[in-house]
Amino acid sequence: MNNEQALGKICQKLNLLLGIQSVDLYGLKVENDKIVAQFGEWHLESRFFPVIELKSLKQKAVEARLIIKGPHQRLIDEQIIFAVESNPKRIILLDRMIRALHTSNFAIQYEADPFSLDLQGKHMESLDELHGVFQHQLMDYWSLPAELLTLKIVHHNACSPERLQKAIDNYRQRGYRLGLKLDKPGVTDCLHMWTFGPDQIQLPDRFSSRMLVEEPLKKGFRALVQACHEVTNTLTLADVHNEVQRKIAFDAGVDWVMS
């Protein structure tokens, strides 16, 4: 059995786990010796980015990001596909399919590195119970311990506080770390930060492009970093691309960065 056939067998098993019988329009499949996914007209792929600790400059983890191609190979913003979905069953399937895609590609490409995946607020709102069961099945399939994974909640405002807390409790009982990706630092973000005390907080993508460059914003940035550290030990900043930005982030108290 060659590599493509072996990956095909894996995709068949994972699609059954997802409840998918036919993969013409939906499901995991093999393409160019790697696992990809199809969700209607959207073509989904995994990319992994190193997460670096600023103090030691050592890699601490990898983060999975989704690459989406629409019709005619046009690149699509990740949040668009969740924004346009309103059917709870499709939202649950889409979120699980993406996590199956990322978890599988991580297991194939890496060994014992910690890694992080997004967990959509819309998914938690759509699911009444059994939070964490599917992810646990994925981790068991790949023989990955729960402590390797941090699930970073995205668009938490799409989920009611009661369901959000229930989901968080369920995931933590299964041994997963829970992070929070801030949409934009504001009152509701701060309330959720204080409510469940995330293991990690990640500032918004492209946040650094202004906060680390524009002088009037640097003071506010340092205050935000300090507020985040009131509730978490690890604050991550994405889109840090050069030594100047790394130094400003480190001086402000940021712990980890992702390029």
Phi, psi at 193, each rounded to 5°: -60, -45
What pTM value is reported for the model? 0.91
| CB neighbour burial string for 36-73, b if at least 16 within 10 angstroms, e if fewer | bbbbeebbbbbebeebbbbeeeeeebbbbbbebeeeee
Give the separation between CA 237 and CA 257, rounded to whole angstroms: 5
Measured from the Cβ of residue 137, the count of other Cβ atoms closer than 10 Å reads 14
Phi, psi at 252, each rounded to 5°: -80, -15
Between residues 36 and 166, the one the model is more confident about? 36
Between residues 9 and 164, the one the model is more confident about? 9
Report the half-sphere exposure of 153 (CA within 13 A, side-chain side): 33
pLDDT recorded at residue 98: 95
Q: What interhelical angle do 3-18 and 133-141 show, nearest 10?
A: 160
Q: Which of 83-87, 165-169, 254-258 has the highest mean pLDDT?
A: 254-258
For 14-67, what is each residue's pLDDT tens digit? 999 999 987 778 999 999 889 999 999 999 999 999 999 999 999 999 999 999
- CATH number (3.90.199.10, 3.20.20.450, 3.40.50.720, 1.10.20.60) of 46-65+86-258 reads 3.20.20.450
pLDDT recorded at residue 212: 63
DSSP class of residue 225 equals: H
